[in-house]
Amino acid sequence: MWSGTLVGAQAALLLALGWPARGARPTGRTRRAAAGALFLAGATVAASGSAELGVDLRPSPLPPPGARLRTTGAYGRVRHPIYAGLLLMAAARGLASTSRRHRLAAAGLGGLLTIKAVTEERLLAEDHPEYADYARRVPRFMPRLVPQRRGAGPRGVS
């Protein structure tokens, strides 16, 4: 099934990100420190989203039957906090590494997680009539820096 293909591709990209680069030049201390902070932020966001899903957590974009829609906590800031966290951690790896493979894998993961998010959103909208309003209020991956006024529509694409 296509869902398994997406999960397999995600696993391969995560493996490519985690695999050490041969012959890569060391990066500067400032760059490594920035990457460390970015990685820690990503891990925190992903862990928060994972904890809030609890037993409904799964690698597939297919929502479990009967799962309730989460719209508070991490899910009140972004619609996909786990994916957002993974993207931050992948960006950190790309920043900390001089390996072209790591940067390409980070970019590939960004595209793949966008496909998974769009797929998941379509399925959630079918199961939860209130999803359309939630999607208008809450951005996909990056939280808004300035809170949106109640009743105001989004400006731009999330």
Residue 153: inside a domain, yes or no?
no
Q: pLDDT for 47-56, tens place per residue? A: 999 999 999 9
Whole-number Å distance between alpha carbons of 142 and 133: 18
Q: How many residues does the chain have?
A: 158
- pTM (two decimals): 0.88
Q: pLDDT for 6-47, tens place per residue? A: 999 999 999 999 998 887 677 788 989 999 999 999 999 999
Provide the residue range defining the domain that includes 53: 28-137
Note the pLDDT of residue 151: 57
Q: Percentage of the chain surpassing pLDDT 90? A: 76
Whole-number Å distance between alpha carbons of 139 and 157: 8
Residue 157: inside a domain, yes or no?
no
- Are the C-beta atoms of 129 and 120 separated by less than 8 Å? no
Residue 151: inside a domain, yes or no?
no
Residue 11: inside a domain, yes or no?
no
Give how many domains the chain has, as a whole number.
1
Task: Kindly give, in sequence order, each residue whose CB lies less than 8 Å from that of residue 51, ignoring residues fewer than 6 positions away.
Answer: none
Residue 66: inside a domain, yes or no?
yes
Whole-number Å distance between alpha carbons of 47 and 88: 12
Residue 63: inside a domain, yes or no?
yes
Note the pLDDT of residue 126: 94
The dihedral over CA atoms of 130, 136, 142, 146, expressed in degrees to the nearest 10, equals -120
Note the pLDDT of residue 156: 46
Residue 16: inside a domain, yes or no?
no
Phi, psi of 123 (to 5 degrees): -70, -40
